[in-house]
Amino acid sequence: MSDSPKLGPDTLLSQDDLFQFTCHGGLECFTNCCRDVTIFLTPYDVLRMKRGLGISSGELLDRYALVSQTHAIPLVLLKMNEEDDKRCHLVTKEGCSIYEDRPWACRMYPLDLGDDGGYKLAVEEARCKGLGQGEPLRVRRYLEKQGTKPFVEAEQEYARLTSDPRLGQLDVENPQVFKMIFMATYNLDAFRKFVFESSFLERFQLEPGRVEAVRASDEELLRLGYDWLAFGLFGQMNFQIYEQAAQAVEAKGTTTGGTVLGGGGNGAGGGRGNGSGSGSAPGTN
């Protein structure tokens, strides 16, 4: 596809394709797309949102998320405000109040991930008045402007867990196990406390400099969480265990945190969908 064509719901776009889209406060649909929308949050979305709001991950999840515990890997949705016409709690008349730290799916809008690494429209032109407006833009350039790169990279790291076929063979019956997985992926402030205020660092030997990197950065903490879970769930040796701890683990026949991790799994990559066909990040371009 070399020119900007008329797009339909089944059109698959590559990063080199052109499309036309512009969003601004003068459009009649402005902020409609932040109402009654299904947005899956990734762990990195939660990290960015809590940073943008200046609150803890626990507060963020309590106030703004719905969590499903039916799979080993948590499904986390952005909560809509039932008392305000199902609007996102974070939308204002001026647009998204956490624009710089908005979730991945909101950045991509009105595009969504398609099959085979392509992209598709998440909404019809009739609902998103910005579609078909403005200068033609390559999908690649649009995504760059929306700052999706760190979200894509973070998702690739998360996929080490979510795409592992062994995840589907596990069976999480122990709520404590779900709690640990949830903590190390989504509730980072609780995981930080666990790493630095429990015997974690007496059991796991991190490579030189990593402890300080984790102390200084939530992104590094999230990576540690993935490594720890990959160790606990799949036995991947991402770091050494101190000998004494290894003996204790062997004696118990257990791995992470002294708990046998099991569970049926399901990945929760970012995504946006909606019964009414709306959804967006107002002011995204």
Residue closer to ligand SF4, measured from CB, 130 or 267: 130
Quick one: which segment of 95-103, 149-157, 159-167, 239-247 binds ligand SF4 (CB under 6 A)? 95-103
Residue closer to ligand SF4, measured from CB, 31 or 187: 31
Q: Is 64 left (phi over 0), alpha (psi -120 to 50) or beta?
A: alpha
Residue 256 is a binding residue for ligand SF4 (CB under 6 A): no
Quick one: which segment of 51-59, 96-104, 184-192, 217-225 binds ligand SF4 (CB under 6 A)? 96-104
Q: Which of 74, 103, 265, 267 binds ligand SF4 (CB under 6 A)?
A: 103
Quick one: which segment of 123-131, 157-165, 228-236, 255-263 binds ligand SF4 (CB under 6 A)? 123-131
Residue 90 is a binding residue for ligand SF4 (CB under 6 A): yes
Residue 60 is a binding residue for ligand SF4 (CB under 6 A): no
Quick one: which segment of 99-107, 145-153, 173-181, 251-259 binds ligand SF4 (CB under 6 A)? 99-107
- Which H, E and C letters describe the chain, residue by residue? CCCCCCCCCCCCECCCCEEEECCCCCCCCCCHHHECCEEECCHHHHHHHHHHHCCCHHHHHHHHEEEECCCCCCEEEECEECCCCCEECCEECCEECCHHHCCHHHHHCCEEECHHHCEEECCCCCCCCCEEEEEEEEHHHHHHHCCCHHHHHHHHHHHHHHCCHHHHHCCCCCHHHHHHHHHHHCCHHHHHHHHHHCCHHHHEECCCCHHHHHHHCHHHHHHHHHHHHHHHHHCCCCCEECHHHHHHHHHHCCCHHHCCCCCCCCCCCCEEECCCCCCCCCCCC
Task: For the CB of residue 28, give the shortest distance to ligand SF4 in the complex, in Å.
Answer: 8
Residues 6-35 within binding reach of ligand SF4 (CB under 6 A): 23, 27, 29-34
Task: For the CB of residue 104, give the shortest distance to ligand SF4 in the complex, in Å.
Answer: 10
Q: Which of 48, 50, 102, 223 binds ligand SF4 (CB under 6 A)?
A: 102
Instruction: State the residues that interact with ligand SF4 by CB under 6 A.
Output: 23, 27, 29-34, 37, 88, 90-91, 96, 98, 102-103, 106, 109-110, 128-130, 280-282
